[in-house]
Amino acid sequence: MTSSKVELRGEVKNDPAALMASLHLVPSPVPNPEIKYTKIFINNEWHDSVSGKVFSTYNPATGEKICDVQEADKADVDKAVQAARSAFSLGSVWRKMDASERGKLLFKLADLVERDSAYLATLESLDTGKPFLSSFFVDLQGTIKTFRYFAGWADKIHGSTIPIDGEYFTLTRHEPIGVCGQIIPWNFPLVMTAWKLGPALSCGNTVVLKPAEETPLTCLYIAALVKEAGFPPGVVNILPGYGPTAGAAIASHMGIDKVAFTGSTEVGKLIQEAAGKSNLKRVTLELGGKSPNIIFADADFELAVEQAHQGVFFNNGQCCTAGSRIFVEEPIYDEFVRRSVERAQRRTLGSPFDPTAEQGPQVSAEQRSRVLELIQSGITEGAKLECGGKAPPSKGFFLEPTVFSDVQDHMRIAKEEIFGPVQQIMKFKTIEEVIERANNTEYGLAAAVFTTDLNKAMTVSTALQAGTVWINCYNALSCQCPFGGFKMSGNGRELGEIGLKEYTEVKTITMQMSGKKS
C-alpha cells in the first residue's frame, strides 16, 4: 500500500459504535456521549468565567466543534488560588485529615475513574482524536494506576531522624508545599491530569490545574469525580483556558507555591522565568524530546523494527518520548529501512472509533501544518522520503505515516521536535560514534537501545544523557518509575517515589537534648 492509497474506511466511520459492539470482544465507546461539564471548577462548584468568555473545543477527526467551554483568565485563576489557599490553611479539613484518609480519597477517585472508563475513553478520543482502544487501554489504565499508586504513598512519606553532633536531636518532616499550579498538554489529557494530581494530593497539597485549551473535556469530568469522591472544596480546582492568559497567571501568581508544567521546551522556559520573576515558586518541567533509539546489528530484528515503529508513531507521534531519531548500525541499515517502510505503510488511519485504525488525526490543523512544514524541510534538505509525507483528503486533521531514510544529523528533522508521525532513520558505524551523536542534542528525555549484548546494553544506557533509557523496549512507562528529562527536556522527575520529592518541603526540627544517648 503506497501512501496515496491511505483512506478512511467509510462504512466504519458511519457506524463505529455498532461495529465495535458487534465484535463483543473489546470495550465499546459510549454512543453520542453527553458533555456534562464545560465550566470552571472552583471550590467543588461550577463557575462561569469572570470575563464571560467561552472558547470552542473541536473533534480533530471531523474538524467539527464539540462544544463551548468557559474560558478561565487571570481573574478566574485568582478565585481558584483563593479557594486553594483557604483549603490549605492551617486547621482546614484537608490539613487535619489523616494521611491514610487522603490515600482513601485517591483510591476512591481511582475507583470512580474505573467505573466511568468507557465514557472517559470515548470523551478522550472525541477530544484528542486518539483511537478509542488506545484511550481505553493505555490512557485510562495509566490514569487509574497512577491514582492508586500515589494513594498508597499518602501515609508512607517518611521523614527521618538524624544523629547529629552535639547535644541535639533532629528529625525531619516532609510537609506539603502548599498551592500547586499545574499546566498540562493536549496529547495525554487524562494521564497528565493523574500524573499531576496523584502526587500533589498524596502529599497533601491543593491544586489549581489548567488543562490544554484543545482538550479540556476529560479533565473537567475528573473534576466532577473529585467532588464525588469526597475531596473537600478547594483542594482541586480545574481552569480550562489558554497558556498566555490563564497559564501565565498561574506561572507568575504570588499565591501559588509551586508550578508543574508539561509541554514544549519553549514554554517551559517562560514558566521558569515567570516563577523567578514572581515569588521563586518551585518549578518542575517535563518538556520536549528528540529521543534517540539505537539499533545494533545483533538486536532481535523483528522486535527492533516493531518497537522503533511504535516508539515514534504511537499517539500519532504526539509524544514527548517519541523515538524520532533512529540510529541503525550499518550492516542492517538497508533492511531495517525497508522493513520500517513496510510497517509504516501497513499502519491504518481512521476514525478514533474504528477499532481497526491504529492512527487517528493530529490534534489540530495548526499542529498538522507544523508537521507538514517540517516534512517539507526534510525533503528540501535532502533526506530520502520513503513513504507518506502528505495529508490525506479528509475534513479531519489526518497525516500519512511518514518515513525518512538517509537523514543527516544537521537536518531540521533530525534536530527539532516534530510531534507528528514522522520517522527519521540514520546510519552509524561504531558505538562511540553513536553515543556521541545520540547525546548531541539540547534534549535528554528518553532513549532506547536494541541489542542482545549485555555489555553494549549497559555501556550505552550508562553513557546516554537521558532521564529514561529503555533496553529492547520502548515507551515502557509505569507509575512506579521516575520519569523526566536531562538537559532542556525538563527539571525534576515525575512518578515513582522520587515524584513525591517535588511536592514536599522538608522541615528539619532540631531540639536541644541533654544527656543524649546513641
Provide, rounded to whole angstroms, the least separation between the CB of residue 285 and another protein.
Answer: 25
Output the smallest distance, CB 181 to another protein, in A. 23
**Closer by beta carbon to another protein, 380 or else 478:** 478
The β-bridge partners of 508 are: 172
Grid coordinates of 199? 502526587
What cell numbers appear for 382 in the block? 535532502
Q: Which is nearer to another protein, 149 or 404 (CB)?
A: 149
Q: At what angle do helices 301-313 and 333-346 cross, to 10 degrees?
A: 50
Stretch that binds another protein, among 1-9, 125-133, 339-347, 507-515 (CB under 8 A): 507-515
Binds another protein by CB under 8 A, chosen from 39, 130, 148, 368: 148
Integer Cα distance of 107 and 113 in angstroms: 10
- Binds another protein (CB under 8 A): choice among 18, 89, 152, 346: 152
- Cell reading at 464: 546516554
Q: Identify which of residues 153 and 474 has a Cβ nearer to another protein in the complex.
A: 153
Active-site positions read: 286
Q: Between residues 83 and 267, which has the closer beta carbon with respect to another protein?
A: 83
Could you tell me if 435 and 464 are in contact, meaning their C-beta atoms sit under 8 angstroms apart? Answer: yes
Instruction: Give the DSSP letter of residue 392.
Output: P
Q: Is 176 in the site for another protein (CB under 8 A)?
A: no
Q: Give yes or no for residue 169 binding another protein (CB under 8 A).
A: yes
Please list every residue from 85 through 104 that binds another protein, using CB under 8 A. 93-94, 96-101, 103-104
Please name the helix (run of DSSP H) or strand (run of DSSP E) that holds residue 385, with its range, or none.
strand 384-387
Q: Which is nearer to another protein, 318 or 465 (CB)?
A: 465
Q: Quick check: 52 and 234 in contact, CB under 8 A?
A: no
The residue within the footprint of another protein, chosen from 156, 346, 384, 507 (CB under 8 A), is: 156
Task: Name residue, grid cell 467509510.
Answer: 10
- 468-471 vs 446-450, strand pairing mode: parallel
Query: How many other CB atoms are found less than 10 A from the CB of residue 451?
Result: 23
Shortest distance, position 486 Cβ to another protein, whole Å: 14
Cell of 433: 560514534
Residue numbers 104-123 binding another protein by CB under 8 A: 104-105, 107
Determine phi and psi for 192, rounding to 5 degrees. Answer: -65, -35
Q: Which window, 189-197, 229-237, 248-256, 289-297, contacts another protein (CB under 8 A)?
A: 229-237
Considering only residues 422-481, where is the footprint of another protein by CB under 8 A? Answer: 435, 454-455, 458-459, 462-463, 480
**DSSP letter (8 states) at residue 246:** I
Site membership for another protein, residue 511 (CB under 8 A): yes
The answer to whether residues 397 and 362 touch, using CB atoms and an 8 Å cutoff, is yes
Q: Which long-range contacts (CB under 8 A, 24 or more apart) does 137-144 make?
A: 138/191, 139/188, 139/190, 139/191, 140/113, 140/114, 140/190, 142/188, 142/190, 142/191, 142/194, 142/477, 142/479, 143/113, 143/190, 143/191, 143/193, 143/194, 144/110, 144/113, 144/114, 144/117, 144/194
Closer of 50 and 99 to another protein (Cβ): 99
Give the nearer residue to another protein in terms of CB position, either 410 or 517: 517
* Nearer Cβ to another protein (369/510): 510
Smallest gap from Cβ 165 to another protein, in A, equals 16
- Closest separation between CB of residue 175 and another protein, Å? 16
Separation CA 298–CA 457 (nearest Å)? 11
Q: Using an 8 Å Cβ cutoff, are 322 and 447 in contact?
A: no
Consecutive H or E run containing 328: strand 325-329
Q: How far is the CB of 471 from another protein (least distance, A)?
A: 12
Which letter does DSSP use for residue 53 in this model? -
Helix (H, G, I), strand (E, B) or coil at 399: coil
Angle subtended by helix axes 99-115 and 117-128, to nearest 10: 70
Size of the site for another protein (CB under 8 A): 42
Please select the residue that binds another protein; options are 21, 26, 67, 513, rule is CB under 8 A. Answer: 513
The nearer residue to another protein, 151 or 197, going by C-beta atoms, is 151
Q: Which of 27, 63, 159, 232 binds another protein (CB under 8 A)?
A: 232
Shortest distance, position 80 Cβ to another protein, whole Å: 20
**C-alpha angle 215/308/351, rounded to 5°?**
40
What angle, rounded to 10 degrees, do the helices at 189-202 and 117-128 form? 120
Rounded CA gap, 129 and 285, in Å?
A: 25
CB of 141 to another protein, least distance (A): 11
Binding another protein by CB under 8 A: which of 63, 78, 137, 155? 155
Beta carbon of residue 14, minimum distance to another protein (angstroms, whole number): 39
Using CB under 8 A, which of 91, 163, 393, 515 touches another protein?
515
Task: Write out the residues near another protein by the rule CB under 8 A.
Answer: 93-94, 96-101, 103-105, 107, 145, 148-149, 151-156, 158, 169, 230-232, 435, 454-455, 458-459, 462-463, 480, 497, 511-517
